[in-house]
Structure formats: C-alpha cells, structure tokens
Amino acid sequence: MNIGIIGLGARSVAYTKNLQTYFKEHKIISVCDIDEERLTNYVEFFFKDEKPDVYTDYKELLKDTRLDAVIITTPDYAHREIVLDAMDRDVHIILEKPIEASAERALDIYRRAKGYKKNIMLGFVLRYTPIVERLKAMIDSGEVGEIVSISASENLAPSHSSSYMRRWHRYNRYSGGMMNTKCCHDIDVIRFLVGSDVKKVSAIGRLGIYTHRDGVAEHCCDCPEKDTCLYSFNYAGYKSKTRFDCMEDICVYNSEKDVIDSESMLVEFENGVNLAYELSMASAEETRKGTINCTKATIEYHVTNRTIKIIPRGDGEPIYITLPEAVSGHGGGDLGLLKRFFACCEGGALANDSYDGLVATLTCMAGEISIAEGRTVDFGELMN
C-alpha cells in the first residue's frame, strides 16, 4: 500500500518508525506539514534512501492518485477538514485520537463517516495491547462473570504532565479539554470491555498544580529555580533537527491555559455498569491501572507493569499473569493497531471507529460540562 502522512508531530514519528521496521512492504510515498523546516528535517532524518514527496498543503497530497491510505496526525482541532477531504478522496484512513476537539466537529466527522466504504480507524491503540486483548477475552468468555463496576486511573509523572502545559493542548479550544486529549482512549477501552453505551456522566475537576507563581521567570532557561524546579525544562537540548514534538520553553506555572490538571469522572453505562475514572497529573510515577469487579471474580490490572491479578469471589487462590514486554509504544498498541489496519485493508474486512471516537470524545466533554455546571449530564444531550 502507498501511504501519506499528514502532520509531522510526535505521533507521526511512532507510525513512521513502526512502518519502516515492521511493515516494509508498505511504502510512505508522501508527507505533509505546514512547517517547512520540520518537513525538511523529518524527511532527512527518517528517509535515508528513497525520499517521499513533500507538501505543505494536505489538499495537494490528497491529489496523488497513487495513494491507498493516509495517516492523519495533526493537532486535535485540525482533524475535521482533513478527514472529510480524505473521505472524499476515498482512501483508507488512520485518524489519531481524539476524533476532534469539539462536539460539533466530532459529530460532523461521524455523520460523514457512517457510510464510508473504506477503513477509518481511530488511534485507539490501547485496544490492541496484549493486556487489553487478554482482559477482553477473559470477560467475553464469562469466566469472571458479568462486570458490575470498574475503577481506573491514568497518573502522569512530572515530566509527562508538565509537557501539556508547554503545548497547544493547554487550551480547551484546541484540545477539547485535558480528559479528551489525554484519556479518550482510556474511556474507549473501558467502554470496549463493558460492551455498552454511555448513559450519564458526572465529574469534578480543577487546575490545582500548574497555577500562577510569583518570582519565577517566563522561560525556564532564565529562571532562578531552573536547577531545583521539578518541572525544569532543558530547551537547549530539545531544539534539534531530530525532535518533532511541540513544546515551548515557557513556565508551566505561568503559561496561559484554561484546562484542568485533575479530574474524577463517574460514568453510568446503559447496561448498569458504573465506572469511576481518575486523571491525575500530580503523580510521582507513570501508571495506567484499574480494578474490574465482576460477579465471579475481581480483576486488578496494571497496563504499565503488564500484570493482571484475578481474585475469585469465594474459594480459590488468586491467579497472577505477567505479559511479555512490548516491542512498540503504548504497551504494544502502536504496532497492534497497524497490524489490525493492514489486516482489514488487505482482507476485505471493514473497520469503522467513527462512532467509538465520537462516544469517547463526547463522554469526556460531558465531564467538562458537569464540572462547569455542577450537574450530572445525560449523554443523549450531546448526541443531538
């Protein structure tokens, strides 16, 4: 297959590396970014022999009749127009999560994609991790009984959490909120395990860590606390031709922002299952984990450590499972998603994640409404 990549940020790096390492039979024939310097650096760094065609206008890239598929990894707020034009071009599509940064724009994509005759997959990489595949098989087989409730969390270590306060993600208008930009694929994978649609959402949250501080500089390089601050950023080492993410050398405390940095969300699913989900950007370590209470057993899973513990209700000893170390990012999900994508494209199956992407984003946005208005949100409000 001939592939084009639109948007050359950190996520495009992951796709490019995996394609060049594990899917050499498929070829990246074109790349696009509005930043000409980044575009030049990207091609020089990743393509040593045959160079792809380069574009600063994605519409010109889509005119190439050789294209079979595109991977869209632009910022969240720039998805709608590109994916709609890609569907007009009738190519297979991978659209990086989240689907969009507003409910209206997400609905536009979903409505257009409902009848799409090619594959359109969201970057919900967690679905394709060995640990989630094991959990899904366990639940679907009935060996642990039916799900009653779930508690889950994603906890970000200092370097990771602070990076969002140096990027465009710190504005709701660009990201749709921190839960949408960071955790929509967690919400998706839990709904995937539960097997039911969302009914109601309630949430609390605030900006509690990255708040204004006096006596610190606008830029880390000039700050008197640069050698002691937990969030100090070495921008000199960051700005090189081999870096393709989008942080700025700005103080995480005093950077302009309107997102929150902690949120607790309660979700009621249509089948009665309850979810308690927490996003914390104040963790000492990086973890993604949860507990699934079922009628026959309780499952404790730790995505970061690749472990599952099954505790029977009643008699029986706990069962411990440790899965092999992943060979790609997101616990093996980056590679797993591409395997699924090419299997669908080549095998005649049709993958369409547009509804899943819509529900995940609208669930996160229902949490934002709940925080702002202090009420429980009926999910149907956002689907209209």
* pLDDT tens digits, one per residue of 127-155: 999 999 999 999 999 999 999 999 999 99
Whether 220 is covered by a domain: the verdict is no
**Residue 52 and residue 105 in one domain:** yes
**Residue 132 and residue 157 in one domain:** yes
Q: What is the residue-wise DSSP string for 331-349?
A: GGHHHHHHHHHHHHHHHS-
First to last CA, the chain: 38
Q: Which residues of the chain are modeled with pLDDT < 50?
A: none
**Residue 194 and residue 109 in one domain:** no
Which structure tokens are listed for 121?
Answer: 């997959």
Cβ neighbours of residue 118 under 8 Å, at least 6 residues apart?
A: 87, 90, 91, 92, 93, 350
CATH number reported for the structural domain that contains residue 15 in this entry: 3.40.50.720
Which secondary structure element, helix H or strand E, spans residue 206, and what is its range? strand 198-206
* pLDDT tens digits, one per residue of 66-77: 999 999 999 999
Whether 225 is covered by a domain: the verdict is no
Report d(CA 246, CA 333) in Å as an integer: 23
Which structure tokens are listed for 344?
Answer: 């669908």
**Residue 266 and residue 206 in one domain:** yes
**Residue 80 and residue 29 in one domain:** yes
Whether 230 is covered by a domain: the verdict is no
Task: Kindly report the length of the chain.
Answer: 384
Whether 246 is covered by a domain: the verdict is no
Domain extent, residue 293, equals 127-210+257-329+359-383
Whether 224 is covered by a domain: the verdict is no
Helix ranges (H only) for 129-287 are: 130-141, 158-163, 172-175, 178-194, 235-238
Report d(CA 70, CA 334) in Å as an integer: 16
Reduce the DSSP state of residue 232 to 3 states and report it.
coil
Does the global pTM surpass 0.75?
Answer: yes
Whether 223 is covered by a domain: the verdict is no
Phi first, then psi: what are they for 198, rounded to 5°? -80, 140
Whether 241 is covered by a domain: the verdict is no
**Residue 117 and residue 264 in one domain:** no
Cβ neighbours of residue 49 under 8 Å, at least 6 residues apart?
A: none
Q: Which of 242, 239, 216 is nearest to 227 (CA)?
A: 216
At residue 273, the pLDDT reads 98
**Residue 50 and residue 120 in one domain:** yes
- How many domains are contained in the chain? 2
At residue 240, the pLDDT reads 80
**Residue 70 and residue 131 in one domain:** no
**Residue 114 and residue 261 in one domain:** no
**Residue 176 and residue 80 in one domain:** no
Which structure tokens are listed for 341?
Answer: 């994508």
Which structure tokens are listed for 319?
Answer: 């069962």
310-311-315-317 Cα dihedral, nearest 10 degrees: 70
Whether 168 is covered by a domain: the verdict is yes
Which structure tokens are listed for 137?
Answer: 């098989």
**Residue 187 and residue 45 in one domain:** no
CATH number reported for the structural domain that contains residue 199 in this entry: 3.30.360.10
Report d(CA 96, CA 269) in Å as an integer: 25
**Residue 81 and residue 117 in one domain:** yes
At residue 233, the pLDDT reads 87
